[in-house]
């Protein structure tokens, strides 16, 4: 059984004392072990690090003893992302993690047309339900951005709405990030979904003024918590940051 992550307490914005944080972590662990928590992970664009972030969250949850697995319902071009998530999910069969693979490196709608295939919401939901029935937490990674077309009349946003999970937005930290995040967060809200927070991903080692200042203003502009700012090459996620949505 999955339950949505509650919103982060307002006090978190100004920091919590370590004893209070420890208490929250214990409560989060109990909730996660007992009921399970899942989320939909989208990006402001393609190649912003959705799989990278999903893998880090999976590793953090599993290190805490939570039975968390990844789900990449649709992959195009190659199955590298699915292979990474399968390994991070305790070596699940790749076909369970990624039920739909299309060889052309194109938007799924176009790739499926070229392969004379039809992607249906039912098969994508079935793949999620299969995992959710067996694991405490399922992290669903979208393909590309929020409005990427999967099939005629079916977009990534439609899948997320059908799953009704809280949504985590992964954004590349660069000039234009603020606009892309605000558009994505507003689109998520328009679907009646909860945006659990933003993960700001540093794609390069050098930082310019836009990258430095994005972190300081993004949270207030979007009205949702900044869950993490991942520096270039970071290979871990602080457990404490998961208190904001776990």
* Inter-residue contact 98 to 83 (CB < 8 Å): no
- 72 counts as catalytic: yes
Q: Which of 129, 108, 126, 127 is nearest to 118 (CA)?
A: 108
> In sequence order, what are the beta bridge partners of 69?
138
Q: Contact at 8 Å (CB) between 104 and 110?
A: yes
Residue tagged active-site, from 50, 72, 103, 215 = 72
Torsion of CA 58, 62, 68, 74, to 10 degrees: 30
List, in order, residues 6 or more apart from 180 with CB less than 8 Å away: 44, 45, 171
Which runs of consecutive H residues, i.e. helices, occur in the chain? 18-34, 50-63, 80-88, 94-97, 108-114, 121-132, 156-163, 177-190, 209-222
> Does residue 175 sit in helix, strand or coil?
coil
Burial of 79-117, coded b for 16+ CB within 10 Å and e otherwise, reads bebbbbbbebbeebebebbbbbbbeeeebbbebbbeeee
The packing angle between helices 80-88 and 50-63, to 10°, is 10
Catalytic annotation, residues: 72
């Amino acid at each position: 059984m999955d339950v949505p992550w509650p919103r982060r307490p307002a006090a978190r914005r100004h920091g919590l004392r370590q004893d209070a944080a420890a208490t929250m972590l214990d409560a989060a662990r109990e909730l996660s072990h007992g009921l399970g928590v899942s989320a939909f992970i989208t990006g402001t664009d393609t190649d912003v690090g959705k799989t990278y972030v999903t893998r880090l969250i999976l590793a953090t949850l599993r290190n805490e003893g939570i039975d968390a697995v990844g789900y990449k319902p649709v992959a195009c071009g190659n199955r590298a992302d699915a292979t990474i998530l399968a390994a991070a999910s305790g070596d699940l069969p790749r076909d369970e993690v990624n039920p739909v693979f299309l060889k052309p490196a194109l938007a799924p709608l176009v790739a499926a047309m070229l392969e004379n295939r039809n992607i249906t919401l039912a098969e994508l939901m079935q793949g999620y339900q299969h995992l959710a029935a067996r694991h405490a937490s399922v992290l669903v990674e979208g393909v590309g951005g929020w409005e990427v077309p999967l099939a005629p009349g079916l977009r990534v946003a439609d899948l997320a709405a059908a799953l009704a999970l809280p949504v985590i937005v992964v954004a590349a930290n660069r000039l234009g990030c603020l606009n892309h995040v605000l558009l994505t967060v507003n689109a998520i809200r328009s679907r009646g979904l909860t945006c659990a927070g933003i993960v700001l991903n540093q794609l390069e080692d050098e930082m310019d003024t836009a990258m430095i200042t994005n972190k300081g203003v993004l949270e207030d502009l979007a009205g949702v918590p900044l869950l993490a700012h991942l520096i270039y090459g970071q290979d871990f996620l602080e457990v404490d940051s998961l208190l904001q949505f776990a």
